[in-house]
Amino acid sequence: MTRFIRFLLIAGLALLPLPLQAAPLVGDLSNYRINIDSSFNGTRIFLFGTRNETGDIVVVVRGPLQDYIVRKKEQIAGIWVNNERMKFFNVPDFYSVASSRPLSEIEQATIFRQLGIGLDNLLTPPLAPQLQVKFDSFSEAFLNHQKDRKRYKAEPANMQFMAETLFKTTIEFPDNIPPGNYTAEIYLINGGDVTGMQSIPISVVKSGLDAFLHRYAHEHPALYGITAIVMALSIGWFTGRLFEKI
């Protein structure tokens, strides 16, 4: 019911006279918080809104930023070892895009590169030209790894329109999403310029026993390690005693 009321409010804004409209676009989410527990198997959030000016709608959802090191294994003297490596800094651990048209058909000039829209613009290329070939190889391996984990979407999701003004799309979250702060960025692009933008935060948190263990491990790592060792020894001893009686 709450989602339906918000949708009606946004739809009402689209019917107001143009002088009363406060922004080129207005968007909202069906949920701002995702709780992760032991039974979590993925979820979806609905994003909807209205555009008060002409243009293409692009939605980008980014997860918490992480630093990654990608290593390349090579066989040397019959042994596989890590040889070359490349670091990627401040890369979102989750990334999803939805658009009203294919990104290649939207007039965007350098906007997509500046805003990091699209997988091709997600990683920053090196300044040195001699490193471009290495960058292409390592970035492709990293993006394929994230797509295999379902953390990155290979293709943008479709944006559905009603009466050319109201829009909606679905954001799919896999069961392995990391906890942290996410953002849903909504862009209105017209003639290669961003004419409207809105950012909505999404919180992904652990709940239940998973939350307790996660907090305990990060706040008291030494005690967590000792507890894990004691529990492993206790389970081993109990299992041994059980098999002695069988």
Interior CA angle at 66 toward 127 and 171, to 5°? 105
Residues of the chain with pLDDT under 70: 1-22, 77-78, 80, 109, 208-220, 223-224, 228, 237-246
- Predicted confidence at residue 3, as pLDDT, reads 54
pLDDT averaged over every residue in the chain = 82
- Predicted confidence at residue 1, as pLDDT, reads 46
- Predicted confidence at residue 202, as pLDDT, reads 96
- Predicted confidence at residue 128, as pLDDT, reads 82
- Predicted confidence at residue 147, as pLDDT, reads 95
Range 87-92 contact pairs with CB under 8 angstroms and sequence separation of 24 or more = 88/123, 88/139, 88/142, 90/65, 90/66, 91/65, 91/66, 91/67, 91/122, 91/123, 92/62, 92/63, 92/64, 92/65, 92/66, 92/122
Evaluate whether 166 touches 14 at the Cβ level (below 8 Å).
Answer: yes
- Predicted confidence at residue 104, as pLDDT, reads 87
